[in-house]
């Protein structure tokens, strides 16, 4: 057999150092309770921020509603005038269309009462093209 | 019995309309609410008491006049900052007022300096107000018929119900 003069892969002189073979399962990190606490704390913080933002949004909504309240008289007056204008035009059309019909009272009240009855869209848009009535009744469905 | 529904003529309905788009109206809304408060409240009171649009055309005309003066004053004094403000509002989605706070402050300062108008605080326009009018309160705005007098005397002789009470099974 060859003597120890052959070059071989041998361990270092003095042997290898100690090998750590024990189980390494360190006890670290938060406990269960504190993990819950952190989670609940984060949630509480989130709720607090959400609450504050919702209050801010409520204030903004009040602002928008107040803008609407301020503008209502203008818009209502204009709407009234528009409605009365359409009724007047319909009345005049009716007078010209039915002038040869015997016993027809133009602009006759269809109710037995004196009070003002709001006209239906069919009544207002009767003598106009059908698309206008459809737009008036269902136009809101196509509003983008 | 009533014959004809009276509708005002086209000349009576001919009023100078404020020809202005929605962003402009929303931009000026708060100041309009505090400046043109009196005619607006009178019109709304008239409308809601009389329940008849034909009776409130005069008040409506006053509201329009007030609005005209209002916009004329803004145009005369603070036109550029107002234009900036409403174009910013028009550009934003849903005309959100919070997107245009900078322009709003500019416009408010300009109006405060030149015209002395203060922007109403949050909640001031939603307060309930008492309105002073010269118009008398309409009696019977619903044109209801007179009510029958209560407890009319029963003339016939009262008999007990035939076949027992009809409310036998429904007595809760």
Residue-level pLDDT at B106: 93
Contact A71 B29 (CB under 8 A): yes
pLDDT band at B12 (very low <50, low <70, confident <90, very high): confident
Query: What pLDDT is recorded for position B2?
Result: 64
Examine the pLDDT at A11 and tell me if it is beyond 90.
no
Name chain A contacts of B13, Cβ cutoff 8 Å.
81, 84-85, 88
pLDDT of residue B89: 93
- The pLDDT assigned to A3 comes to 57
Residues B75-96, mean pLDDT to the nearest whole number: 91
Return residues 9-68 of B near A (CB < 8 Å).
Answer: 9-10, 13, 15, 17-18, 25-26, 29-30, 32-34, 39-41, 43-44, 47, 51-54, 56-57, 59-60, 63-64, 67
**Chain A nearest-CA residue for B28:** A67
Neighboring chain B residues of A66 at a CB cutoff of 8 Å: 29-30, 33, 120, 122-126
Q: Is the pLDDT of residue B1 over 80?
A: no
Interchain CB distance below 8 Å, A66 and B126 = yes
**Chain A partners within 8 Å of B64 (Cβ):** 74, 77
For helices B37-50 and B57-77, angle between their N-to-C axes, nearest 10 degrees: 160
Q: pLDDT-derived band of residue A70, with 50, 70 and 90 as boundaries? A: very high
**CB-count burial class (<10 Å; 0-12, 13-18, 19+) for A91:** middle
For residue B57, what pLDDT is reported? Answer: 92
pLDDT of residue A67: 93
The two structure tokens encoding residue B124: 């001031």
What's the pTM value of the predicted model, to 2 decimals?
A: 0.80
Residue A143 CB coordination number (10 Å): 5
Q: What is the mean pLDDT of residues A73-89?
A: 93
Please provide residue B4's backbone torsions phi and psi, each rounded to the nearest 5 degrees: -125, 140
Note whether A71 and B32 are within 8 A (CB): yes
CB B56 to CB A80 under 8 A?
Answer: yes
Q: How much is the pLDDT for A112?
A: 85
Q: What is the mean pLDDT of residues A118-132?
A: 92
pLDDT of residue A2: 52
- Of the pLDDT bands very low, low, confident and very high (cuts 50, 70, 90), residue B5 is confident
Give every CB contact of residue A88 below 8 A, 6+ residues apart in sequence. B7, B8, B9, B10, B13
What pLDDT sits at residue B162? 87
What per-residue confidence (pLDDT) applies to A4?
A: 66
Share of chain A above pLDDT 90, in %: 65
Q: Shortest CA distance to B21 belongs to which of A92, A75, A5, A119?
A: A75
Write down the mean pLDDT value for chain B: 90
The helix or strand, by DSSP H or E, that contains position B67, with its residue range, turns out to be helix B57-77
């Amino acid at each position: 057999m060859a003597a120890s003069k052959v070059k071989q892969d041998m361990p270092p002189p003095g042997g290898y150092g100690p090998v750590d073979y024990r189980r390494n399962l360190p006890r670290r990190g938060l406990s269960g309770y504190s993990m819950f606490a952190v989670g609940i704390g984060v949630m509480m913080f989130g709720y607090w921020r959400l609450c504050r933002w919702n209050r801010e949004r409520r204030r903004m909504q009040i602002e928008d509603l107040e803008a609407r309240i301020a503008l209502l008289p203008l818009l209502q007056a204009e709407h009234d005038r528009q409605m009365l204008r359409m009724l007047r035009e319909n009345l005049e059309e009716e007078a010209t269309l039915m002038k040869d019909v015997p016993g027809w009272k133009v602009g006759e009240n269809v109710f037995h009462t004196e009070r003002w009855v709001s006209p239906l869209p069919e009544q207002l848009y009767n003598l106009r093209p059908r698309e206008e009535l459809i737009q008036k009744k269902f136009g809101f469905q196509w509003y983008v | 019995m009533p014959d004809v529904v009276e509708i005002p003529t086209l000349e009576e309905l001919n009023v100078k309309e404020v020809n202005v788009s929605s962003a402009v109206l929303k931009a000026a809304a708060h100041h309009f609410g505090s400046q043109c408060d009196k005619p607006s409240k009178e019109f709304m009171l008239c409308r809601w008491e009389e329940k008849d649009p034909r009776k409130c055309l005069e008040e409506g005309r006053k509201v329009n006049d007030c609005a005209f003066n209002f916009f004329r004053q803004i145009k005369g004094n603070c036109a550029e900052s107002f234009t900036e403000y409403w174009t910013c509002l028009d550009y934003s989605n849903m005309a959100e007022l919070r997107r245009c706070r900078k322009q709003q402050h500019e416009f408010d300062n300009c109006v405060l300096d030149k015209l002395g108008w203060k922007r109403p605080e949050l909640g001031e326009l939603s307060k309930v107000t008492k309105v002073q009018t010269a118009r008398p309160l309409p009696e019977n705005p619903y044109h209801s018929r007179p009510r029958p007098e209560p407890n009319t005397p029963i003339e016939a002789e009262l008999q007990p119900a035939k076949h027992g009470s009809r409310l036998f099974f429904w007595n809760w």
